Chain A
Amino acid sequence: MAQQDAYEFTSRENETIGKAATWALALAGASLVMVAVHLVFAFMGTDLTDLSFSLLIFDLGAGLVSASCYLAAGILFAVVGSALRRVVHTEGSDLQHMLKALNTLHRVFVVRIMLVFVTVMAVVAVIAIGEGLL
């Protein structure tokens, strides 16, 4: 028997895993709401009559990048939540589902860390443009 099928989580453990699954799915929903919020603010906050290309890129670009990162995080959180749900509801491959959830969780954090770096770079770029360095 493969080792990944050698352990079945107990009902108490399933309770903890189930809670994590529920909140991961809720966070997926919240991330998708934030996609809509960022898109709305990106288009409403952009002065389309301003012909300055760099300003248009920054106004619209920042919103679109944030929305894309939230979309990716939302989809990945949904995958994490469903994998954890499968750990609770299925038998025979609990560890496989758990490892899939953990691998996806790693990707979620990588996406978020990337968003932080993109934000920092954007702030630096805006300051540099404001100071006339670019």
Chain B
Amino acid sequence: MTQDDSAQAGGGADEAALSVGQYEFNADENVSIERAGASAAIWAVCAVVGAVLLGTLAVVQYTLDNLRGALLVLPLFLICAVAGWLYLGAGKALKEVATTEGNDVELLMRALQRMATAFRNEVIVTAATVVLFVVLYLVTQL
């Protein structure tokens, strides 16, 4: 039976599952996976700390009656918070691949799915930032 056949055979059992493949990563592979998970989690913590700082800044601006300043900081707060949450989930799933047994491929797929969502969000945010920079530059030059 090929991998595709086994995927079709088990597909109806759990539609939310991203994989039905069975493979157990060896110790060397687990080291690489765990390392990627750990660095993703640290990066997520950086994003969460950034979100907390930006959230605090927004609250401070609001208490100083600077609603415009608070509204400007709010999108950055949301971006950092969402990125932190996504990378934290991806890092956790990657670490689970290394520390658990019996569900490695499914966990790897979940980690990659979260990572893809985080990458997509970053691309959108980067594009929006570049457009904002150009608009601000043109507005200030006029």
What are 19 A-B residue pairs whose CB atoms fall within 8 Å in the complex? A6-B23, A7-B3, A7-B21, A11-B7, A16-B18, A16-B109, A19-B113, A23-B119, A26-B119, A27-B119, A27-B123, A27-B126, A30-B126, A33-B126, A84-B112, A99-B32, A105-B39, A109-B43, A113-B46
Residues in A lying within 8 Å of B, measured CB to CB: 3-4, 6-13, 16-17, 19-20, 22-24, 26-27, 30-31, 33-34, 37, 41, 84, 95, 98-99, 102-103, 105-106, 109-110, 112-113, 116
- Cβ-based interface call for B105 (8 A): yes
- Check B7–A23 contact: CB distance below 8 A: no
* Interface flag for B120 (CB, 8 Å): yes
Which label, helix, strand, loop or mixed, suits the secondary structure of the B interface?
helix
Query: What residues on A are CB-neighbors of B94 within 8 Å?
Result: 102
Do A7 and B119 touch across chains, with their CB atoms under 8 A apart?
no
**B101 adjacent to chain A (CB < 8 Å):** no
Q: How far is the CB of B128 from chain A (nearest CB, A)?
A: 11
Contacts known (A12-B19, A13-B18, A30-B123); A23 close to B116, Cβ less than 8 A: yes
Q: Is B7 in contact with A102, judged by CB distance below 8 angstroms?
A: no
Residues of B within 8 A of A30 (CB): 122-123, 126-127
